[in-house]
Amino acid sequence: MMKIPKHVAIILDGNGRWAKSKGMPRNYGHTVGAKNVETVCQAADELGIEYLTLYAFSTENWNRPDSEVAALMKLLESYLKNCIRTANKNNMRVRVIGELSRLSESFQKKIQELEEVSAANTGLNLTIAINYGSRDEMLRAMKHMFTDIKNGRITEEEINEKIFSGYLDTRELPDPDLLIRTSGEQRLSNYLLWQLAYSEFYFTDVPWPDFSKAELEKAVEAYNQRDRRYGGVKEEA
């Protein structure tokens, strides 16, 4: 019987290169990639995956051309608006993580509305990382934690992994069991560095717009071939 990872994190890569290969502008790739999110969410739910976390826009993506950043922001905002409808239709709970204060006020309101509207849903837990960077997340967590030490809410001696994890954006989520990165690159790109400590990694050449249920199943099959020891040694039979 196949083991299904409880939490899958995905780096959605290859939208621009996919579009270029078809003679289309990069923004077309982002549009098709955004549409594929619902397809993969449905596939994950059907497979029995409980948590799906998607890297949509990193803190470094602001360095892209202004026109591409503006188009991405417009696309993400539009996606979140539509997600309110699809989340309830599919009984999906949605969270957004990242440094959200840099986003427009209207964008932040849509995030708040989406999280509130879907909070009671009991199906797939979808988390979207927007203006997210793991180093930024950890710096924000440390500053918050130091403020709590200064104000006497916790002591330095109390700090451990569990306490620190409670200050991260992902504090309501279990750590990922499996990380998938599409489109051939093999790096983490400042994504969930703390949380991926014991995750299995799966890299595929398939670009995100072409990543289907069949491709997700391949990743889960590969995950089933891994021997997760968490630093220990498995006893020989």
Decide if 232 is inside a domain.
no
Indicate whether 233 belongs to any domain.
no
- Could you identify the residue written with the tokens 């993506």? 61
Q: Which residues are catalytic?
A: 13, 61
Does 44 fall in a domain?
Answer: yes
pLDDT at 203: 98
Q: In what order do the strands lie in the sheet with 51-58?
A: 93-97, 125-132, 51-58, 7-11, 178-181, 200-203
Q: Which helix (H) or strand (E) holds 187?
A: none
Q: Is residue 16 part of a domain?
A: yes
Q: What is the pLDDT of residue 234?
A: 63
106 lies in some domain: yes
Sequence-distant (≥ 6) Cβ neighbours of residue 109 within 8 angstroms: none
In a domain, 61, yes or no: yes
Going residue by residue through the chain, which has 237 residues, state the pLDDT in tens, using 9 for 90 and above: 789 999 999 999 999 899 999 999 988 988 999 999 999 999 999 999 999 999 999 999 999 889 889 988 988 888 888 888 889 889 999 999 999 999 999 999 999 999 999 999 999 999 999 999 999 999 999 999 999 999 999 999 999 999 999 999 999 999 999 999 999 999 999 999 999 999 999 999 999 999 999 999 999 999 999 886 666 666 655
What is the tally of structural domains in the chain? Answer: 1
Burial class (CB in 10 A: 0-12, 13-18, 19+), 222: middle
> Is residue 122 in a domain?
yes
CATH number, domain containing residue 135: 3.40.1180.10
Domain of residue 49: give its range.
7-224
Residue 3 pLDDT: 94
Q: Classify residue 53: in a domain, yes or no.
A: yes
